[in-house]
A and B are shown apart, each in its own frame.
Chain A
Amino acid sequence: MSKIITCIKFGKERSVSFISHLDVLRVFERALRRAGLPLAYTKGYSPRPKLVFGQALSLGLTSRGEYLDISLENEVDENEVQELLVATLPPGFPVYMAKNLDDKVKPVMAAITHASYLFKGDRALEILEALDKSEIIFIKEKNNKKTETDLRPLINSIEPYEDGVRLICRAGSAYNLRPDALLTALSLDDEQIKVCREDLFIERNGSLVSPLMRLM
Chain B
Amino acid sequence: MLTYQDLLEKHLNRIEKPARYLGTELHSIQRKKQPKVHVALAFPDVYEVGMSHLGIKILYHIANKDPNYWAERVFAPWPDMEAILNEEKIPLMTLESSTPLGKLDLVGFTLQYELSYSNILRMLRLASIPIRSKDRKSGPLVIAGGPCAFNPEPLAPFFDVFVLGDGEEVFLRILEILEQEPDREKRLQAIAKLSGVYVPSDYEIEYKQDSTIAKITPEKKVKKAIIKDLDAVDYPTSPIVPYLQTIHDRVNVEVFRGCLRGCRFCQAGMLYRPTRERSKEEIKRLVLETLKNTGYEEVSLTSLSTADYSALACLVPELMQVLEPEKISLSLPSLRIDSFSVELAREIEKVKKTGLTFAPEAGSQRMRNVINKNVTEEDLLKTAEAAFQNGWTHIKLYFMIGLPTETDEDILAIAELGKKVRELGRRYTKRVTVTVSTSSFVPKGHTPFQWCGQNPRDELRRKQFLLKDNLKGPGLNYSWHNPEISYLEAVIARGDRRVAEAILYAEEHGAHFDTWNEYFKPELWAEAFKACGIDPDFYALRERPQNEVFPWEHIDSGVEKSFLYHEWQKALAEQTTQDCREVGCTGCGVCSSFATAISLKGGE
Contact = CB atoms under 8 A, between A and B. Distances in A.
Given A27-B243, A59-B12, A34 B327 contact: no
A60 B25 contact: no
A31 B24 contact: no
Interface string A34-50: 10000001000111100
Interface stretch (A11-19, A170-178, A197-205): A11-19
B327 A47 contact: yes
Interface string B1-43: 0000100110010000011001011100000000000000000
B465 interface: no
Contacts of B9: 60
Nearest to A39: B327
Contacts of B285: none
Interface stretch (B78-86, B103-111, B292-300, B515-523): B292-300
A90 B295 contact: no
A153 interface: no
Contacts of A46: 329, 351-352
B466 interface: no
Contact of A90 (B26, B296, B329): B26
Given A18-B12, A60-B12, A34 B293 contact: yes
A212 to B, nearest CB: 25
Q: Which of A14, A33, A45 has the most CB of B within 10 A?
A: A33
Nearest to B294: A30
Contacts of A33: 291, 295-297, 326
A59 B295 contact: no
B295 A15 contact: no
B245 interface: yes
B244 interface: yes
B241 interface: yes
Contact of B243 (A14, A19, A48, A91): A19
A135 B553 CA distance: 76
Interface in A25-76: 26-27, 29-34, 41, 45-48, 59-60
Question: Which size bracket describes the interface of B in this complex?
Answer: 20 to 34
B290 to A, nearest CB: 11
Nearest to B4: A18
A128 B218 CA distance: 78
Interface string B114-133: 00000000000000000000
B244 A34 contact: no
A23 B241 contact: no
A29 B241 CA distance: 12
A32 B327 CA distance: 13
Interface string A186-213: 0000000000000000000000000000
Given A20-B19, A23-B244, A60-B12, A29 B295 contact: yes
A81 B293 CA distance: 18
Contacts of B296: 30, 33
B245 A23 contact: yes
Contacts of A45: 351-353
A16 B243 CA distance: 10
Interface string B216-250: 00000000000000000000000001011100000
A59 to B, nearest CB: 7
Interface in A137-191: none
Contacts of B329: 46
Interface residues of A, number: 26
B295 A88 contact: yes
A31 B295 contact: yes
Contacts of B353: 45
Given A23-B245, A26-B245, A34-B292, A16 B24 contact: yes
A45 B327 CA distance: 11
Contacts of A26: 243, 245
A32 to B, nearest CB: 7
Contacts of B25: 90
Contacts of B245: 23, 26
Nearest to A90: B26
A34 B24 contact: no
Interface string A91-125: 11000000000000000000000000000000000
A90 B241 CA distance: 10
Contact of B18 (A18, A34, A48): A18
Nearest to A33: B295
B293 A18 contact: no
Interface string B394-427: 0000000000000000000000000000000000
Contact of A23 (B19, B295, B352): B19
A15 B243 contact: no
B567 to A, nearest CB: 44
B295 A32 contact: yes
Contacts of B18: 18, 59-60
Given A30-B241, A41-B327, A19 B295 contact: no
Interface in B229-280: 241, 243-245
A92 B24 CA distance: 9
Interface string B319-355: 0000000110100000000000000000000011100
Nearest to A43: B351
Contacts of B244: 23
Given A30-B241, A45-B352, A59-B12, A19 B22 contact: yes
A45 B25 CA distance: 29
B297 A91 contact: no
A89 to B, nearest CB: 9
A30 B295 contact: yes
Contacts of A48: 297, 327
Contact of A18 (B19, B292, B351): B19
B297 A19 contact: no
Contacts of B291: 33
Contacts of B294: 30, 34
A11 B9 CA distance: 18
Contacts of B26: 30, 90
Contact of A29 (B22, B297, B352): B297
Nearest to A41: B327
Nearest to A27: B243
A23 B291 CA distance: 19
A15 B24 contact: yes
A14 B24 CA distance: 12
A23 B18 CA distance: 12
A33 B297 CA distance: 8
A47 B241 CA distance: 21
A14 B5 CA distance: 9
Nearest to A91: B24
Contacts of A23: 19, 243-245
27 contacts: A15-B22, A16-B22, A16-B243, A18-B19, A20-B19, A23-B19, A23-B243, A26-B245, A27-B243, A29-B297, A30-B294, A30-B296, A31-B295, A33-B297, A33-B326, A34-B292, A34-B293, A45-B352, A45-B353, A46-B329, A46-B352, A47-B327, A48-B327, A59-B12, A59-B18, A60-B9, A90-B241
Given A16-B24, A26-B245, A41-B327, 14 more contacts: A16-B243, A18-B12, A19-B19, A23-B244, A30-B294, A31-B295, A33-B295, A33-B297, A33-B326, A34-B292, A34-B294, A46-B329, A90-B26, A90-B241
Which 10 pairs, one residue from A and one from B, show the smallest C-beta to C-beta distance? A30-B295, A18-B18, A33-B295, A34-B295, A90-B26, A23-B243, A60-B12, A47-B327, A45-B352, A19-B243
